[in-house]
Structure 1
Amino acid sequence: MHTTIQLEPDEMPTNWRASKKWSATLIIVLMTANITFASSIHTAAIMGVSEAFHVSETVATLPVTTFLLGFATGPLLFAPLSEVLGRTLIFRVVLGLFICFNLACALSPNIYALLILRFLCGFFGAPSVTNSGGSLADIWPQSQRSVPFALFTTGSSLGPVVAPIVGGYVAEHLNWRWHYWIVTSVSGAVYIAMVFLLPETYTTVLLRWKREKTGIKPPRMTFKERYATDLTRPWVMLFTEPILFTLGLYSAFIWGILYLDFTAYPVVFQQGRDWSQGKSGLSFIGIGVGMALATASSPWINDLHGAVVRKIGLKPEARLPHLIFLAWLIPTALFWFGWTAPPPTHPIVPIAAGVPFGIGFVTIFLGTNAYLSDCYGRFSASAWAANAVLRSLFSAGFPLFARQMYVRMGTPWASSTLAFIAVGLAPVPLVLWKWGGWLRGRSRFHISTVELEKDEEG
């Protein structure tokens, strides 16, 4: 018989003092924003890379795709590893390697090296994003997650939106390599802050450390056995969990549209309206404003979640009611943009279409992440990793056909095609609101209401 070892109340991350929670949350948000900023910063360097390496603009776009392919594969290795070794150790290793490979991108001698290095940047950058959701779920009780997750979602979504705005003006005045010098410098500052302000958050690892200090080592799987199990879990969950697969496709499509816009907007505003590269970057302001408004509404969403919980109980589906209506902002924004983008309509009109898109994007991504965390509890890092695979694959593929799609079909019908698909996906929150509980009851990975209540109590 083994002596029971438990964490003291003040050792539980959910019971940390507020300043410690918020400093850790801020570092997580900054890491996420930094990585996602890097994911799209290359879109502003496409013309410079094309000229420097004497390749077509399509080939010069490929580093965006290879980054996101790396982004799709990295979480499958490091998400389960974080559940064995802890979140913080993984953050320190992968973010350090991310910085090194971004530095190498700035020094790339040819397009082939840049393609490979961008893949490695995505591979080692992704865990800082996908594992962050698990860290936030470790720190914040279920009822307090709306605001931290809203900030995290804003970091995830505003990062790639701000990048082409900044990058556009950098491209006009500096060499394309400066895009990577900027990312490397900012990443270094975030890394230093992370080392000092982000402690370990995963309670399973904290408990194991405490047992090892006391010399108590209960029987458990070896590292090899545990990691082999955790390594396969994201794949198993992706293809056996209808909730995860459905939400994965839904969020992947929306993320795909965002990254498609990074290629489509220059076609619409640079070619269609003869704007400079720097000026065309300002066209993303509408999306950024929408994202900021969605973040500002997070306290209201938190209050709404509390009201729904009081009505239906502490169930993951309490995260969904507002999404049933907000999901329709995505197709609305796409139709709006498509049919107002060409001249002679004033450019403020299509730019304003980004506002409902930004609101819908952030609220759907926030609701999806919170719902997955509530559904899968201690397996949330694996669920997020599986979700990230689909999201990154769509984000990698969409920019490759965006330019041809908008040139050949024209902006109105290219955007309308995407809008019709978005109409078909908009009922997803309603479907999960009605049948999510039934699907969870047939899952072997879901977290029960009793466990949710224990999580709420810290």
Structure 2
Amino acid sequence: MDKKVLNHDPTHHDNDSDVEHNEDPQCLPVWRKWMIVVTISTSSLCVACASSLSALAEVGVSVEFHVEHTVSVLSISLFAAGLALGPLIIGPLSEFYGRRPIYCISYGLFFALSWPVAFAPNIGIFLMFRFITGFCGSAFLSVAGGSVSDLFSDSRVANPMAFYTGGPFLGPVLGPLLSGFINQHLNWRWTYYLVIIWSFVQLLAIILFVPETYAPILNAKAQRSVNSAAGSLYTRSQMVSHRCHHTELMESAKKGVLKAIFISCYTPLKLLLFDRMALLLDLWSSLTVGILYLAFQVYPIIFQEGHGFNLQETGLGFLGIGVGIVLGISTQPYWNRFYEKISRENGGVVPPEARLRIGQVGGICVPVGLFSLAFTTYPRVHWIAPIVASIPFGGGMYFVFASTFTYLVTTYRPIAASAMAANGAMRSTFAAVFSLFAAKMYAKLGTVGATALLAGLTTVLAPLPFIFAHIGPRLRRQSRFAA
């Protein structure tokens, strides 16, 4: 393993403990990097899966706690609300203390506080800890992407980032699939016993395999080690002053964590209020994710009521969306070659608007999938038809997210963390809200009318990547936030 000493001093002893903090994460062996990526990706998958596992456990919750179905649906909405709020708080803490402590503490709490969910004596305790576990687990949907970029250079990060981003989308699809089998044969509490077991395994893997990868923290520790050897005592504020000042959040870290958290909450809101391009792209991706979470309430209507499926068969109905997501991820090598071609044509630079090409494909696939799904939900239509129809939606959803994710990061590079926090908060908020009105909307409009309405909304927003591909450079020049 290559080791790089950041500061040399004649009094410095070159032992293992001293140089450990001087390791460049990008110099780790490839197998070690991928072990880290797989660990944080499966941890992310676990959290995302936990968000939707309760979808087919709601009947058991309603019966045991004697509450209406509209109350038990809150188990998804409150977890998603925790995912929305968490990045605004956890993001700044990771910039101040590093990624590894945040991973260990947040996932440790996610594991520990999943016990009150599984053994809840009443609906109040159950729902309260669903929200808290969502908040704790959000670190792996907000911070983990940074670890992937720490490990790989810009030219090699595309494939591992695509592997990681599959987790937040495959997880919600995997949740009802597993939940269907569990709740068909076991008590609903086994749904959450699974979360406890899975999160415990992931916590051990995090502790054993995921080191600190954040360069400012590694540099600060290396500097402290060098100066300690020289007899110099450093305070935390002096250590922080040696960190990179490449973001507004890092500048504020010197003045304290509370100031950093305030900026983390304020800057995303300011971006959404004063930058129409960021607002519209966030709205587009959030609507798509909201529809995914709405499906957790809709699929039982389509398959259980319309086709007589049991719980485990209804869970298998989500395979169409899952297959679409996997197919979308598998196209990443093509997009890598496309970006390399664009880079060669532009002197080694990939314009942000080139990242919207994949979004143009997604903008077409999502409404096509939803319109196809809408007109195959009749009970007289074979049950395989709506499953196949959902494949374009799954692939399009991945394309939409991949496009907005990369475009926002490259366009708003000076405040990239805030741009992603705004996107993540809005997506999770839509996920929380859409779950609440799904049943009433489908009862009023029917499966065809309600699904066609959603398809129409995605059709209205589908031109966004095409429009911004043309006027994006002008909007970026006018923006107070864009690079």
TM-score by length of 1: 0.91
Does structure 1 residue 406 correspond to structure 2 residue 442?
yes
One-letter amino acid matched to 2:196 = T
Matched, 1:131 2:143: yes
Find 1:223's aligned residue among 251, 256, 264. Answer: 256
Give the match for residue 337 of structure 2.
Answer: 303
Taking the aligned partners of 1:231 and 1:211, their CA distance within structure 2 comes to: 31
Q: Flag structure 2 segments of 5+ consecutive residues without an equivalent.
A: 1-5, 9-18, 228-233, 242-253
SS at match of 1:201: coil
Question: Equivalent residue for 1:455?
Answer: none
Note the C-alpha offset of 1:234: 3.2
The one-letter code sitting in structure 2 at the alignment partner of 1:81 is L
State the 1:22 CA deviation. 1.1
CA contact (8 A) 2:21 2:222 kept: no
1:156-212 Cα deviation digits (max 9, x unpaired)? 111110111111110011111101110111011011111121112222222222222
CA offset digits 1:422-441 (Å, max 9, x no partner): 01111121223223333333
Of 38, 63, 80, which residue of structure 2 is paired with 1:51? 63
Q: Is the 8 A contact 2:374 2:452 kept in 1?
A: yes
Report what 1:361 is aligned to: 397
AA at the equivalent of 1:30: T
1:294-373 equivalences under 5 Å are: 294-312=328-346, 313-373=349-409
- Cα distance, 1:239 vs. partner? 3.2
Q: Which residue of 1 aligns with 2:112?
A: 100
**What do residues 254-304 of structure 1 show as CA deviations (whole Å, max 9, x unaligned)?**
000000001101011101112111111111111111111111111112111
| 1:68-87 superposed Cα distances (whole Å, 9 cap, x missing partner) | 11111111111111111112
Q: Distance in 2 between matches of 1:399 and 1:78?
A: 25
Equivalent-residue separation in structure 2 for 1:57 and 1:420 (angstroms): 28
Structure-2 residue corresponding to 1:388: 424
Residue 231 of structure 2 aligns with which residue?
none
**Match for residue 236 of structure 1?**
270
The structure with the largest alpha-carbon Rg is 2
- Structure 2 CA distance for partners of 1:258 and 1:81, relative to 1, 3 Å: same
Query: Counterpart in 2 of 1:417?
Result: 453
- 1:131–1:381: 8 Å Cα contact kept in structure 2? no
1:26-72 per-residue CA deviation (whole Å, 9 max, x = no partner) reads 11211110000000001111000011011111111111111111111
- Structure 1 gaps, min length 5: 448-458
Cα separation, partners in 2 of 1:82 and 1:219, compared to 1, 3 Å: closer
Q: How many Å apart are 1:374 and its aligned residue?
A: 2.6
Superposition CA RMSD, Å: 2.3
Residues 219 and 278 of structure 1: CA distance in aligned 2, closer, same or farther (over 3 Å): closer
Which residue does 1:286 correspond to in 2? Answer: 320
Q: Is the contact between residue 358 and residue 400 of structure 2 (CA under 8 Å) also seen in structure 1?
A: no
**Comparing both chains, which one has the higher relative contact order based on Cα–Cα distances under 8 Å and sequence gaps of 6 or more?**
1
User: Given the superposition, is the C-alpha separation of residues 9 and 17 from structure 1 closer, same or farther in structure 2, using an over 3 Å criterion?
Assistant: farther
| CA separation of 1:45 and 1:118: change in aligned 2, threshold 3 A | same
Closer/same/farther in 2, CA of residues 230 and 184 from structure 1, 3 Å limit: same
Q: Could you say which residue in structure 2 is the equivalent of 1:264?
A: 298
Instruction: Give deviations 1:114-160, integer Å, cap 9, x for gaps.
Output: 11010101111112211112222222222323212221221111111
Deviates more, 1:8-17 or 1:125-134: 8-17
SS in 1 for 2:120: coil
1:32 equivalent in alignment to 2:44? yes
Between the two proteins, the alignment pairs up a number of residues equal to 444
Between the aligned partners of 2:72 and 2:204, the Cα distance in structure 1 is 32
Deviations 1:221-269 (A, max 9, x none): 2334555444533333343444432221111100000000011010111
Structure-2 separation of matches of 1:419 and 1:368: 19
Structure 1 residues 209, 169: closer, same or farther in 2, change over 3 A? same
SS in 1 for 2:294: helix
Runs of 4+ in 1 over 6 A off after TM superposition: 6-10
2:162 is aligned to: 150
The residue type paired with residue 259 of structure 1 is Y
8 A contact 2:109–2:136 mirrored in 1: yes
CA contact (8 A) 2:89 2:261 kept: no
Residues 17 and 315 (structure 1), Cα distance of their counterparts in 2 relative to 1, 3 Å cut = farther
Contact in 1 for aligned 2:359/2:404 (Cα 8 Å): no
CA distance in structure 1 between the partners assigned to 2:216 and 2:476 by the alignment: 24
- Are the aligned partners of 1:290 and 1:359 in contact in 2 as well (CA < 8 Å)? yes
| 8 Å Cα contact 1:43/1:263 also seen in 2 | yes
Post-superposition offset of 1:218:
7.3
Q: Is 1:165–1:281's contact at 8 Å kept on the other side of the alignment?
A: yes
Partner of 1:164: 176
Instruction: Give per-residue Cα distances to partners, 1:310-353, cap 9 Å, x unaligned.
Output: 23433222222232133111011111001111121111111101
Q: Of the candidates 210, 217, 221, which is equivalent to residue 222 of structure 2? A: 210
Partners of 1:340 and 1:349 within 8 A in 2: yes
